[in-house]
Amino acid sequence: MAVAEQESRQRGRPRPAWAVQRDGAVLAWLEANGPATRNEVATHFAAQPEGSVRFDGVTLAYNALDRLHRAGRVRQCVGDGGVVTWSAGRETPCP
């Protein structure tokens, strides 16, 4: 079998369904609410009721934002004083 005919495999293990759901919820929230810092994202999702997408911690918010950024779904902007905000879409202007 030629190399071009082989199926490409993704590196590493597949992401769990809850991680995919969390990333989708973060993206949807940014699309609906506009630019936000990772602390604002973490605060919003920590306050969600049981049964919805809920997570605690800035690290989990950053992990979701970083994956979305690498996939080209969100944009990172550095504002005055070095404050980093995230917005949905690569074409969205920085605040």
When pLDDT is averaged across residues 17-21 and rounded to a whole number, the result is 86
Kindly report the CATH number assigned to the domain that includes residue 61.
1.10.10.10
When pLDDT is averaged across residues 37-46 and rounded to a whole number, the result is 90
The pLDDT value given to residue 3: 47
- This prediction has a pTM of 0.78
Q: By the 8 A CB rule, do 7 and 1 touch? A: no
What does the alpha-carbon distance between residue 79 and residue 70 come to, in Å, rounded to a whole number? Answer: 20
pLDDT surpassing 80 at residue 67: yes
Domains in the chain, number: 1
Residue at 51 is within a domain: yes
Residue at 77 is within a domain: yes
Residue 82, domain extent: 16-88
